Amino acid sequence: MTNGTKAPRVYVASLADYNAGRLHGVWVTLRPFCKVAELVEHLERETAAMLKTSREEFAEEWAIHDYENFGDHNVFGEYEDFSYVAKVAVFIHQHSDAARAFFHVFGRDDASMEDFDAYYVGEWSDTRAFAEDQAYEFFDMESPVAQFFYWDKYETMLFRDLYLEHDGYVFKRDID
Protein backbone atom coordinates (compact mmCIF):
# COMPACT_ATOMS: atom_id res chain seq x y z
CA MET A 1 0.00 0.00 0.00
CA THR A 2 1.25 3.48 -0.77
CA ASN A 3 1.98 5.68 2.21
CA GLY A 4 -0.89 8.18 2.50
CA THR A 5 1.41 10.91 3.83
CA LYS A 6 3.45 11.21 0.63
CA ALA A 7 2.31 13.88 -1.79
CA PRO A 8 1.60 12.86 -5.39
CA ARG A 9 4.18 14.01 -7.91
CA VAL A 10 4.78 13.79 -11.65
CA TYR A 11 7.92 13.75 -13.79
CA VAL A 12 7.49 16.13 -16.72
CA ALA A 13 10.07 15.70 -19.48
CA SER A 14 11.16 17.85 -22.41
CA LEU A 15 10.29 16.02 -25.63
CA ALA A 16 12.93 17.91 -27.61
CA ASP A 17 15.62 16.64 -25.27
CA TYR A 18 14.15 13.16 -25.22
CA ASN A 19 14.17 13.04 -29.03
CA ALA A 20 17.79 14.25 -28.97
CA GLY A 21 18.71 11.32 -26.74
CA ARG A 22 18.90 13.18 -23.43
CA LEU A 23 16.77 13.02 -20.33
CA HIS A 24 15.77 16.49 -19.20
CA GLY A 25 12.81 17.00 -16.94
CA VAL A 26 11.58 17.88 -13.50
CA TRP A 27 9.73 16.12 -10.68
CA VAL A 28 6.82 18.34 -9.68
CA THR A 29 5.33 17.71 -6.25
CA LEU A 30 1.62 18.44 -6.10
CA ARG A 31 1.31 20.12 -2.74
CA PRO A 32 -1.55 19.31 -0.39
CA PHE A 33 -4.33 21.74 0.46
CA CYS A 34 -4.22 23.49 -2.90
CA LYS A 35 -7.06 24.05 -5.28
CA VAL A 36 -7.04 22.53 -8.76
CA ALA A 37 -6.35 25.90 -10.43
CA GLU A 38 -3.36 26.51 -8.13
CA LEU A 39 -1.88 23.12 -8.93
CA VAL A 40 -2.36 23.68 -12.67
CA GLU A 41 -0.47 26.98 -12.40
CA HIS A 42 2.25 25.27 -10.36
CA LEU A 43 2.62 22.50 -13.00
CA GLU A 44 2.71 25.05 -15.83
CA ARG A 45 5.31 27.22 -14.03
CA GLU A 46 7.59 24.28 -13.23
CA THR A 47 7.28 22.87 -16.75
CA ALA A 48 8.03 26.25 -18.36
CA ALA A 49 11.09 26.69 -16.14
CA MET A 50 12.32 23.20 -17.05
CA LEU A 51 11.86 23.84 -20.78
CA LYS A 52 13.82 27.11 -20.52
CA THR A 53 16.83 25.24 -19.17
CA SER A 54 16.85 22.77 -22.06
CA ARG A 55 19.94 22.52 -24.26
CA GLU A 56 17.64 22.21 -27.27
CA GLU A 57 16.82 25.40 -29.17
CA PHE A 58 13.11 24.70 -29.62
CA ALA A 59 12.12 22.91 -26.43
CA GLU A 60 8.40 23.61 -26.29
CA GLU A 61 6.68 20.24 -25.90
CA TRP A 62 6.54 18.12 -22.80
CA ALA A 63 5.20 14.75 -21.66
CA ILE A 64 4.55 13.06 -18.35
CA HIS A 65 7.06 10.23 -18.19
CA ASP A 66 6.47 9.06 -14.62
CA TYR A 67 4.43 9.67 -11.49
CA GLU A 68 4.47 8.58 -7.86
CA ASN A 69 2.04 8.30 -4.95
CA PHE A 70 -1.08 8.05 -7.07
CA GLY A 71 -1.61 4.40 -6.16
CA ASP A 72 -0.63 1.34 -8.13
CA HIS A 73 -2.98 1.81 -11.07
CA ASN A 74 -2.19 3.43 -14.42
CA VAL A 75 -3.83 6.81 -13.84
CA PHE A 76 -2.24 9.04 -16.48
CA GLY A 77 -1.29 8.98 -20.10
CA GLU A 78 1.88 10.56 -21.41
CA TYR A 79 0.10 13.65 -22.75
CA GLU A 80 -2.35 14.14 -19.89
CA ASP A 81 -3.93 17.53 -19.40
CA PHE A 82 -2.56 19.30 -16.31
CA SER A 83 -6.07 20.09 -15.09
CA TYR A 84 -6.85 16.36 -14.85
CA VAL A 85 -3.54 15.68 -13.07
CA ALA A 86 -4.34 18.44 -10.57
CA LYS A 87 -7.89 17.17 -10.09
CA VAL A 88 -6.60 13.67 -9.28
CA ALA A 89 -3.99 15.09 -6.87
CA VAL A 90 -6.62 17.10 -4.99
CA PHE A 91 -8.85 14.00 -4.87
CA ILE A 92 -5.99 11.98 -3.36
CA HIS A 93 -5.21 14.72 -0.84
CA GLN A 94 -8.87 14.68 0.23
CA HIS A 95 -9.30 10.90 0.48
CA SER A 96 -5.72 9.60 0.97
CA ASP A 97 -5.22 5.84 0.64
CA ALA A 98 -8.94 5.25 0.04
CA ALA A 99 -8.58 7.27 -3.19
CA ARG A 100 -5.57 5.19 -4.24
CA ALA A 101 -7.60 2.01 -3.59
CA PHE A 102 -10.49 3.53 -5.59
CA PHE A 103 -8.23 3.91 -8.65
CA HIS A 104 -6.90 0.39 -8.16
CA VAL A 105 -10.42 -1.09 -8.01
CA PHE A 106 -12.15 0.99 -10.69
CA GLY A 107 -9.31 2.24 -12.87
CA ARG A 108 -9.66 5.54 -14.59
CA ASP A 109 -12.77 5.12 -16.73
CA ASP A 110 -15.12 2.84 -14.80
CA ALA A 111 -16.05 5.22 -12.01
CA SER A 112 -15.63 8.96 -11.81
CA MET A 113 -14.13 10.73 -8.85
CA GLU A 114 -17.44 12.54 -8.38
CA ASP A 115 -19.05 9.19 -7.52
CA PHE A 116 -16.47 8.27 -4.86
CA ASP A 117 -18.81 8.94 -1.92
CA ALA A 118 -21.54 6.80 -3.49
CA TYR A 119 -19.14 3.86 -4.03
CA TYR A 120 -17.05 4.08 -0.86
CA VAL A 121 -18.32 1.97 2.03
CA GLY A 122 -15.39 2.18 4.47
CA GLU A 123 -12.25 0.48 5.70
CA TRP A 124 -12.00 -2.89 7.46
CA SER A 125 -9.08 -5.06 8.49
CA ASP A 126 -10.15 -7.73 5.98
CA THR A 127 -13.13 -8.99 4.01
CA ARG A 128 -14.23 -11.28 6.85
CA ALA A 129 -14.48 -8.33 9.27
CA PHE A 130 -16.62 -6.49 6.72
CA ALA A 131 -18.85 -9.55 6.22
CA GLU A 132 -19.34 -9.86 9.99
CA ASP A 133 -20.29 -6.19 10.30
CA GLN A 134 -22.80 -6.57 7.48
CA ALA A 135 -24.29 -9.72 9.01
CA TYR A 136 -24.71 -8.13 12.44
CA GLU A 137 -26.30 -5.08 10.84
CA PHE A 138 -28.85 -6.99 8.74
CA PHE A 139 -29.49 -10.25 10.60
CA ASP A 140 -30.34 -11.23 14.16
CA MET A 141 -26.99 -12.73 15.03
CA GLU A 142 -27.99 -13.10 18.71
CA SER A 143 -30.49 -15.77 17.72
CA PRO A 144 -29.61 -19.42 18.49
CA VAL A 145 -29.89 -20.11 14.77
CA ALA A 146 -26.94 -17.75 14.12
CA GLN A 147 -24.47 -20.46 15.13
CA PHE A 148 -25.29 -22.15 11.84
CA PHE A 149 -24.47 -19.03 9.81
CA TYR A 150 -22.22 -19.84 6.84
CA TRP A 151 -19.59 -17.11 7.13
CA ASP A 152 -17.46 -18.25 4.23
CA LYS A 153 -20.40 -18.44 1.82
CA TYR A 154 -21.74 -15.07 3.01
CA GLU A 155 -18.33 -13.43 2.59
CA THR A 156 -17.92 -14.98 -0.86
CA MET A 157 -21.38 -13.82 -1.93
CA LEU A 158 -20.76 -10.25 -0.73
CA PHE A 159 -17.55 -9.87 -2.68
CA ARG A 160 -18.69 -11.82 -5.72
CA ASP A 161 -21.94 -9.92 -6.21
CA LEU A 162 -22.06 -6.68 -4.25
CA TYR A 163 -18.68 -5.29 -3.19
CA LEU A 164 -15.08 -4.79 -4.29
CA GLU A 165 -12.10 -4.55 -1.95
CA HIS A 166 -8.46 -3.41 -2.08
CA ASP A 167 -6.13 -3.17 0.94
CA GLY A 168 -9.09 -3.18 3.33
CA TYR A 169 -11.00 -0.41 1.54
CA VAL A 170 -14.47 -1.57 0.48
CA PHE A 171 -16.51 -0.16 -2.42
CA LYS A 172 -19.94 -0.97 -3.78
CA ARG A 173 -19.71 -2.84 -7.08
CA ASP A 174 -22.56 -0.78 -8.58
CA ILE A 175 -24.35 2.36 -7.40
CA ASP A 176 -27.45 2.06 -9.59
Per-residue pLDDT band for 4 (boundaries 50, 70, 90) equals very low
Do the Cβ atoms of 131 and 158 come closer than 8 Å? yes
- Report phi then psi at 172, rounded to 5: -65, 145
Structure confidence at residue 60 (pLDDT):
96
Structure confidence at residue 3 (pLDDT):
41
- Report phi then psi at 115, rounded to 5: -95, 5
DSSP of 6-34: SPPEEEEEEHHHHHTT---EEEEE--TT-
* Contact partners, residue 12, CB within 8 Å, separation at least 6: 25, 26, 28, 43, 46, 47, 50, 62, 63, 64, 65
Q: Residue 126 corresponds to which amino acid?
A: D
Domain ranges of the chain: 9-106, 119-172
CA distance 152 to 117: 28
Average pLDDT over residues 79-94: 91
Per-residue pLDDT band for 73 (boundaries 50, 70, 90) equals low
Mean pLDDT, the chain, as a whole number?
84
N-terminal to C-terminal alpha carbon distance within the chain: 29
User: Dihedral sign, CA of 53, 59, 61, 67?
Assistant: negative
Per-residue pLDDT band for 167 (boundaries 50, 70, 90) equals confident
Give the pTM. Answer: 0.78
Residues 121-158 pLDDT 10s: 888 888 888 888 887 777 776 777 666 667 777 777 77
Q: In a 10 Å sphere around its CB, with 0-12 CB exposed, 13-18 middle and 19+ buried, how is residue 89 labelled?
A: buried
* 2: pLDDT strictly greater than 50: no
Residues 14-62 pLDDT 10s: 999 999 999 999 999 998 878 999 999 999 999 999 999 999 999 999 9
